[in-house]
Amino acid sequence: MIFEWQSGLWQRVLDNAGRMPHALLFAGPAGGGKRLFAEALAARILCSQPGAGGHACGACEDCLWRLAGNHPDLIRVIPEADQEERGDSPGDKAEGGKTASRQIVIDQIRDLQHALTTGGHRGGQRVVIVDPPEAMNPFTANALLKLLEEPTTNAQFLLVSSSPKRLLPTIRSRCQTWTFPRPPADQAHRWLEARKLPEAEALLAFCGGMPLAAADMAEGGVGAARKRFISDISKLPDKPPMRLAGEWEAWLKSKESIAVGFDLPTLVSWMQRWVADLSALRLGGTLRFFPDCRDTLTILAGRMSLDTALGCYNEITQSRRVAQHPLNPRLFLEDMLLRYARNLQAAATAVRK
């Protein structure tokens, strides 16, 4: 699938037909459609008779194999947890009840190396999609680098990254980088309107203008979590932050949160966006993430000095750096919410004086 905002990049595919570098790095913010673009390019490469606009025909034997999910010359190297979420590999779930890995592991690169040495099953090109390449430790990344440095014949690598700066510089240097910019606002709005999603405008702003991320929130159940977050955080500092921390801990452990992938790092990132909008109002700017909460944020911002708002933002930013692996999630939440509430209370006291 190619989106309206990707038409220029797709034309680049057509202009470079037959002259594509062996490794492409698709880099840009999450939620803009890089993964689907990579899949569309892989489909075109494998298709025996591309049709109008250079897209895969969808009817040849290669396309039918690919659509059935078993084309032998299309290799996806993705974390095991992502395979389960996407349904790409239903039979490869973690064994023994272990949690599926969020990393691309060394065995996957070794399997890839073995597969590439056997040659293409259909006698044409083989396509390898690595998504995301930043989900590798240095040892695994170096194994991938070796494959990029010594490419096999007729192998096309497509690396899909939302954080290209986290990649080894040597990996980036072996790829031609295609930058996927943030979609134009009018095109993103049109796409969401066509899908008739609830609260599309608010979710698009919340997701930084990335339409697929907004659609995922609306369709995946995370949009409901956003509503609860707004309701809860708006009650501070009047509500005891320690009590809210306990409620949030239970919320994160609930089946509903686990089912939609709502976790502590996500919650902290939302907190950071909330405080970013508070700071923006104190600076005389506009709301970026919560335009639908203008009244509440305006009241809160009116209680804060500029220094307090910026200090609060810096504290939440520091908290986010350790949100992936806190020693004690409950204490982490208590500390974060206490800091936020104290900033609001201190600012309110200063205003009264």
74-83 tens-digit pLDDT: 999 999 877 7
Q: Please write the tens of the pLDDT for every residue from 145-197.
A: 999 998 887 899 999 999 999 999 999 999 999 999 999 999 999 999 998 88
Two tokens, residue 260: 């939609």
pLDDT at 90: 42
Q: Does residue 353 surpass a pLDDT of 50?
A: no
Residue 306: name the closest of 337, 288, 282 by CA: 282
Q: Please write the tens of the pLDDT for every residue from 255-299.
A: 999 888 899 999 999 999 999 999 999 988 999 999 999 999 999
Taking a C-beta distance cutoff of 8 angstroms, is the pair 135, 102 a contact? yes
Q: Please write the tens of the pLDDT for every residue from 311-330.
A: 888 988 888 888 878 889 99
Confidence of residue 91 (pLDDT cuts 50, 70, 90): very low
C-alpha–C-alpha distance, residues 48 and 60, integer Å: 7
C-alpha–C-alpha distance, residues 229 and 225, integer Å: 6
Two tokens, residue 289: 């993430």
Confidence of residue 125 (pLDDT cuts 50, 70, 90): confident
Q: Does residue 96 surpass a pLDDT of 70?
A: no
Quote the mean pLDDT of the chain. Answer: 89
Helix (H) or strand (E) holding 337: helix 329-352
Instruction: Look up residue 58 and give its DSSP letter.
Output: S
Two tokens, residue 257: 């949160």
- Which domains does the chain possess? 4-179 (3.40.50.300), 221-352 (1.20.272)
pTM, full prediction: 0.84
Query: Cα dihedral sign for 325, 329, 331, 336?
Result: positive
Which residues does residue 130 pair with via DSSP β-bridges, in sequence order? 77, 159
